[in-house]
A and B are shown apart, each in its own frame.
Chain A
Amino acid sequence: MTSTNPAAVRIDSLEARIDYYPTHEIAGFRLRPGKPFPFGATLVPGGVNFSVFSSHAFSCTLVLFEKGADEPLAEIPFPDSFRIGHVWSMMVFDLNCETIEYGYRIDGPFDTTVGHRFNKEKILLDPYAKAVGGRDIWGTPPNWDNQFPYRGRLVFEDFDWEDDRPLEIPIEDLIIYEMHVRSFTRHASSDAKHPGTFAALKDKIPYISELGVNCVELMPVYEFDEFENSRRHPDSGEMLYNYWGYSTVNFFAPKAGYAATGRLGMQVDELKTLVKELHKNNIEVILDVVFNHTAEGDERGPTFSFRGIDNKTYYMLTPEGYYYNFSGCGNTLNCNNPIVRSIVLDCLRYWASEYHIDGFRFDLAAILGRDPWGAPLSNPPLLESLAFDPVLGKCKLIAEAWDAGGLYQVGSFPAFGRWAEWNGKYRDDLRCFLKGDAGKVGALAQRIQGSPDLYGWNGRGPTASINFITCHDGFTLYDMFAYNEKHNHANGENNNDGGNDNDSWNCGWEGETDNFWINDLRKRLIKNAWAILMVSHGVPMVLMGDEMGRTQNGNNNTYCQDNGLNWLDWGLAGKNADLLRFAKYMIAFRLAHPALRSRYHLSNHDYMGSGYADISWHGEKAWCADWSAESRMLAFMLCGKHAKSGTACDEYIYVAMNSHWDTKFIELPVLASDCGSWHVAVNSGMQSPEDIFEPGSEPVLGDQQHFLIPAYTVVVLVAR
């Protein structure tokens, strides 16, 4: 067919060109020298470009397998002429991309005293593999004798995204829901067609939407091995897994075992479909990424990828060649080595562009700021590179600003104007205040304002603070008020694992009880936590299931439990319908009020001429907050005319938080006549449905001058 379009003629002639043609033949495979970049296996016309880096290897061999086969289909040594610098690259033609798995044999020195651990007997997983075979179905015991347990697979990038792209919701408007893909739908009560998978999570999007959160933070979905360090509980015999997945096998590949279609090799499509559907429902996706260590562990661990490719480059090593262990997991990725920095950047760019991921939460991120010998850097190049990377320019970057080596950087994490932090001090101070500790109102005031004491000094706003009271580490919110002590015996470590600094309160009885008053108090404290979290400046994050009273039976470290300790029991949504309703309306309240979602810190002054400061502090007497050491009650008022630094208009909001065991008779601030009258949005001291009202339907307060606030109660009023 002849085209009349001159551009089409040019394209036709281009199509006739042959850029990639075989020049060599080895073991029956037609080859040519490859392109060093990009690293990994890349589909090119007629073949696949394989490229791998190793700065200390002598030689490299591409090993091809038929999918699932025990023995290789072929081994193709890279001719020496195919190496440029430290990169071996080769194009192999006529491969069936659907049926091939690949790895590398790499030969080099084995001298542990200088950090080299090459072993050409091993077949190694490509660090840049975009999909990994070998653990296709969750919980299927592997063949432990398999010489190639984690297998690189080729991935087509033909997913139809239509017009989707990352949502770019302003970070101050986010409400983050931290969740575990498998736990969310694995319980029988979820009624999921494919429990514990990306597909099942997709089917639950209506629930997430109705709850009102607009961002899910997925605990690790990179390929990990649930059988890593798996064992049986010494007493119960129950299987204990690497369940949470904080131990990466490969940084570019989604976990096949989380995909209902993983056994069909469609985990990439399934995860992309989930992201696309979440975006359609205006829900962002943040990935919890673990760049501080890998699943290879220390010198006693397996060699399946990085260690055998270039140990000295990928890991931080002591002068004697042992592994630094700032992660608490055996090894530490050498993140500020330029090569490792590149793989981290390449990886995140890949997830942002290929999976449309909206942001990343970096596990033990303080490690990313250490130099190759472990010392903290004042200007860590990796953190800077991530902050200024063009592809990641709109991604949320969130640090868990501490590590297992004792580096604690909450408030001082090198932010480069971009990074937010899990605010551990928010968690600690809120927990103490909620359970009635004295001397916490001063800290509470800081946390409610977005922690200006932590972030204001270097020009960071409240959005630097990811506010949370619970996360996957530690007690659930229900357990916070049901247990004084951790109960981790099910983990098989004699209750020695998990933190002891829980700042929890069992309300008078350890664990479950039929006592009405204790259960009532527990629910009230849960509601108080939701209320304060949702009226705090900063970015709130809640833990999956806390909206319906999920319990882990007092276990504060359920990293190994593939059972009801982690699985969300959807029956709780009915059993604790009042909690769910409270959480839902509290989220709606936050989203309805721009005064709660500022990018900038409050000034405690009236710069709008409204007659009221943007935030004012109150106690039992209006305008007289009790900051004394024994105080357990604090109230504040937000002036609606200062909402979003005066650029938005909102109602006045008054919040009283009483963590004292006594009822308090509090005086309300008098409002100017144009501010309207006080309406009751929240009174956690009341039973449902009087505990909270849907925004817009709040009843007017009978006594506009005073309020009787019960013990352990949060009250929120709005003026209109």
Chain B
Amino acid sequence: MAFDAQLAMTNSVAKITLIGSLDASSAPRFKEVIEEAAVQSPTKLVLIMNNLDFLASAGLRVLIFAKQKMGAAVDIYVVGSQGPVLGTLEMSGFHHSVYIQETYVDA
């Protein structure tokens, strides 16, 4: 499935919905969206991954970039990640840097 990343800002919460495969070819697009979100100084970053079906090293690097870019004060929530994507997050240790949730309810 082709990659897509959509940003929505609500009450200082940046919600990015990821769809498809996050690999070396799609990672630059995801990075652009992260930067777009960062300039709006969100208090929270929510990554909706229900429909993200693949995460490669390049995608992980952008997730780490997001953590660095947002700073320690901005909590990052990874929502709905499943199967291999969740496994990859856990095996690479990134799950320690974020909050992993099954669902997310807009405030």
In the complex, the answer to whether A264 meets B57 with C-beta atoms within 8 Å is: yes
The answer to whether A276 and B61 have CB atoms under 8 Å apart is no
Once the chains bind, are B96 and A162 in contact (CB under 8 Å)?
Answer: yes
The answer to whether residues A269 and B60 also contact, given A99-B24, A261-B92, A264-B88 and a CB cut-off of 8 A, is yes
Complex contact B96–A160 (CB within 8 A):
yes
Q: A136-168 interface mask toward B, CB cutoff 8 Å, 1 = contact, 0 = none?
A: 000000000000000000001011101000000
Enumerate chain A residues within 8 angstroms of B65, measured Cβ to Cβ: 158
Q: A98-B27, A265-B57 are in contact. Are A272 and B88 (CB under 8 A)?
A: no
Known: A98-B24, A98-B27, A160-B97. A266 touches B64 (CB 8 A): no
**A193: chain B residues within 8 A (beta carbon):** 87
For the complex, would chain B's binding face be called helix, strand, loop or mixed by DSSP majority?
helix
- Tell me the smallest distance from the CB of A2 to a CB of chain B, in Å: 15
Instruction: Tell me the smallest distance from the CB of B79 to a CB of chain A, in Å.
Output: 20
Q: Report, as a range, how many residues of chain A touch the other chain.
A: 20 to 34
What 0/1 readout, one digit per residue, does chain B (82-106) give for beta carbons within 8 Å of chain A?
0000011011111011000000000
Cβ-defined contact, B88 with A266, below 8 A: yes
A269 and B24 form a contact (CB under 8 A): no
CA distance in complex: A273, B94 (Å): 9
Interface-centre pick from B58, B87, B90, B93 (highest chain A CB count, 10 A): B93
Which A residues lie within 8 Å of B60 (CB)? 266, 269
CB-CB under 8 A from B57, the residues of chain A are 98, 261, 264-266, 269
Contacts of B87 in A (CB 8 A): 193-194, 199, 260
User: With an 8 A cutoff between CB atoms, is A96 at the interface?
Assistant: yes
Which residue on chain A has the smallest CB distance to residue B25?
A99
Q: Answer whether residue A270 sits at the interface, using C-beta atoms and an 8 A cutoff.
A: yes
A residues 74-102 near B (Cβ < 8 Å) are 96, 98-99
Q: Which residue of A lies closest to B98 (CB)?
A: A160
Report chain A residues within 8 Å CB of B67: 160
B-chain residues with CB within 8 Å of residue A99 when the two chains form the complex: 24, 58
A259 to B24, CA, bound (A): 19
CA distance A193 to B90 in the complex (A): 12
- Interface residues in B23-79 (C-beta closer than 8 Å to A): 24, 27, 55-58, 60-61, 64-65, 67-68
Which chain A positions have C-beta within 8 A of B91?
A: 194, 198-199, 202, 259-261, 266, 269-270, 273
Chain A contact residues: over half helix, strand or loop, or mixed?
loop
A156 to B94, CA, bound (A): 14
Tell me whether A96 and B24 are in contact in the complex, defined as CB-CB below 8 angstroms, given that A158-B68, A160-B97 are known contacts. yes
CA–CA, A264 to B84, complex, Å? 11
Q: Give the residues in chain B near A270, CB-CB below 8 Å.
A: 91-93
Across the interface, A160 reaches (CB within 8 A) one of B56, B58, B61, B64, namely B64
For B88, the chain A residues whose CB sits under 8 A away are 261, 264, 266
Residues of A within 8 A of B93 (CB): 159-160, 269-270, 272-273, 276-277
* Chain A residues closer than 8 Å to B58, beta-carbon distance: 98-99
State the Cβ distance, A48 to closest chain B Cβ, in Å.
15
A263 to B29 alpha-carbon distance, docked (Å)? 23
B38 to chain A, nearest CB (A): 12
Whether A158 contacts B96 in the complex (CB less than 8 A), given A98-B24, A264-B56, A266-B88, comes out as no
Q: How far is the CA of A199 from the CA of B64 in the complex (A)?
A: 20
**Nearest CB in chain A to that of B55: its residue:** A264
Among candidates B55, B61, B92, residue contacting A273 with C-beta atoms closer than 8 Å: B92
CB-CB under 8 A from A259, the residues of chain B are 91
Which residues on the B side are within 8 Å of A199 (C-beta)?
A: 87, 90-91
A337 to chain B, nearest CB (A): 35
Q: How far is the CA of A265 from the CA of B92 in the complex (A)?
A: 11
B41 to chain A: closest residue by CB: A1
A191 to B55: give the CA distance in the assembly, Å.
25
Contact A158 B24 (CB under 8 A): no
Question: Distance in Å from the Cβ of A322 to the closest Cβ of chain B?
Answer: 42
Tell me the chain B residues, 9-33 only, with Cβ under 8 Å from chain A: 24, 27
Contact string against B for A residues 248-275, beta-carbon threshold 8 Å, 1 for contact and 0 otherwise: 0000000000011100111001101100
Chain A, 187-204, CB within 8 A of any chain B CB: 193-194, 198-199, 202
Residue of B nearest to A270 (CB): B91
Nearest Cβ on chain B to A204's Cβ, whole angstroms: 14
Contacts of A194 in B (CB 8 A): 87, 91
Are B61 and A158 in contact (CB-based, < 8 A)?
yes
Among A96, A98, A265, A269, residue most surrounded by chain B Cβ atoms (within 10 Å): A98
Smallest Cβ-Cβ distance to A153: which chain B residue:
B57
Which of B24, B55, B60, B91 has its CB near the most chain A CB atoms (within 10 A)?
Answer: B91
Q: How far is the CA of A199 from the CA of B92 in the complex (A)?
A: 9
A18, B68: Cα distance in complex, Å: 22
Assembly CA distance A193 to B27 (angstroms): 27
Q: Give the Cβ gap from A232 to chain B, nearest Cβ, in Å.
A: 33
For residue B94, which residues in chain A have a CB less than 8 angstroms away from its CB?
160, 269
Q: Chain B contacts of A277 at CB under 8 A?
A: 93
**Within the assembled complex, what's the spacing in Å between the Cα atoms of A34 and B52?**
39
Chain B residue numbers with a CB within 8 Å of A162 are 96
Evaluate contact between B97 and A266: CB separation under 8 angstroms.
no
Please, how many angstroms separate the alpha-carbon atoms of A276 and B97 in the complex? 13
Q: CA separation between A175 and B24, bound complex, in Å?
A: 43
What mask results when residues 273 to 286 of chain A are scored 1 for a CB within 8 Å of chain B, else 0? 10011000000000
B92 contacts A269, C-beta separation under 8 Å: yes
Contact with B along A210-228 (1 / 0, CB 8 A): 0000000000000000000
Q: Which chain B residue has the least Cβ–Cβ distance from A275?
A: B93
CA distance A269 to B96 in the complex (A): 12
CB distance from A255 to the nearest CB of B (A): 15
Task: Report how far A158 CA is from B97 CA in the complex, Å.
Answer: 12
- Given A98-B57, A158-B61, A158-B64, A266–B92 Cβ distance below 8 Å? yes
CA distance A156 to B69 in the complex (A): 16
Cβ contacts under 8 Å, B55 to chain A: 264
Interfacial chain A residues near B92, Cβ < 8 Å: 261, 266, 269-270, 273
Task: Please indicate the chain A residues that have their CB under 8 angstroms from the CB of B27 in the complex.
Answer: 98
Q: Which residue of B lies closest to A162 (CB)?
A: B96
CB contacts (< 8 Å) of B64 on chain A: these are 156, 158-160
Report the minimum CB–CB distance from A344 to chain B (whole Å).
28
* Bound complex: CA A516 to CA B67 (Å): 61
Flag if A156 contacts B61 (CB, 8 Å). yes
- Closest chain B residue to A99 by CB distance? B24
- A276 and B91 CA atoms in complex are apart in Å by 11
Please report the C-alpha to C-alpha distance between residue A266 and residue B90 in the assembled complex, in whole angstroms.
Answer: 12
Residues of A within 8 A of B97 (CB): 160
List of B residues within 8 angstroms of A156 by Cβ: 61, 64
- 17 A-B residue pairings within 8 Å (CB atoms): A98-B61, A158-B61, A158-B64, A159-B64, A159-B93, A160-B64, A160-B96, A162-B96, A198-B91, A260-B87, A261-B57, A265-B56, A266-B57, A270-B91, A273-B92, A276-B96, A277-B93
Interface residues, chain B, with chain A CB atoms under 8 Å away: 24, 27, 55-58, 60-61, 64-65, 67-68, 87-88, 90-94, 96-97
Q: Which 8 A-B pairs have the closest CB atoms?
A: A273-B93, A269-B92, A98-B58, A265-B57, A98-B24, A199-B91, A158-B64, A99-B24
Given contacts A162-B96, A260-B87, A269-B94, 8 further A-B contacts (CB under 8 A): A98-B58, A158-B65, A160-B97, A198-B91, A261-B91, A261-B92, A269-B91, A272-B93
